[in-house]
Amino acid sequence: MGAEYHCYAADITCSFPISETFTDDQKLVHEAVLAAQIAVIGALAPGVAWPDMHRLAERTILDHLVAGGVLAGDVDAMLDADLGAVFMPHGLGHLIGLDTHDVGGYLDGTPERSGRPGLSKLRTARVIEAGMMLTVEPGCYFIDRLLDDALADPVRRRFLVADRIEGFRGTGGVRLEDDVLVRTDGVENLSLCPRTVDEILDVKNGGAWPPAVDACSGLRRAWCRPNPTIAGGPMRRYALAEATPA
């Protein structure tokens, strides 16, 4: 979903269960993707290479799938075998501006597109610069064709816990997509969506949004409200209290 504001685009993806709550497996996948989003947003800064951010997202998701018993083995070896692309077959994100998928991804003199699975889907391989606007949209999917190919490949099959994998077939997947502005000191997240499991369940049950407390400061959400005096004018920033660590 998204909107256009003064000719500039937005591109946001939310995933949530249609049931009243999350099953344990839904929560596992959702929190794997959210952790990947938090990791990338925390690491994204001028001077980092976008493909490295993609690999960070893959690593984080694989770590969570290992912890959940869906995969087994060494995550570095999984990355060497391009196992991340089985579960995140798309690119991490793209430049965004006057166009949703904005130009400038592969310019003369910038890194070329990789041929490796997953990395080949990136819409840019550039080194990040201050002032860039990008989407950060990790995902974790269970696609029959990709799972079947991995199970038929001895190199990747050794990491898959087959009975756990079977339980995820037909469930689709989860993607979380936010739009971020790269600044000299990190990023500013301009997407103000419920992201944590508790935030989603609270909103589904009629809770207020925006909330009174920021439950996930690692997302670096830039809280703002519509301009009260100028219709369509600049949004007004404000701060939320951070949640107290448990």
Reported as a single tens digit per residue, the pLDDT across 174-188 is 999 999 999 999 999
Per residue in 27-45, pLDDT tens?
Answer: 999 999 999 999 999 999 9
Q: So what's the pLDDT on residue 246?
A: 60
- Per-residue confidence at 242, pLDDT binned at 50, 70, 90? confident
pLDDT at 97: 95
Could you tell me the two tokens for 73? 């083995």
pLDDT greater than 90 at residue 191:
yes
Q: Where are the beta strands (DSSP E) in 155-235?
A: 172-175, 178-183, 186-189, 213-214, 224-225
For residues 42 and 180, is the Cβ–Cβ distance under 8 A? no
Q: Write the CB contacts of 158 (distance below 8 Å, at least 6 apart in sequence).
A: 73
CA distance 64 to 66: 5
Q: For 83-120, give the secondary structure using H, E and C.
A: CHHHHCCCCCCCECCCCCCCCCCCCCCCCCCCCCCCHH
Residue 190 has pLDDT above 70, yes or no: yes
* Residue from 40, 46, 203, 27 nearest 136 by CA: 40
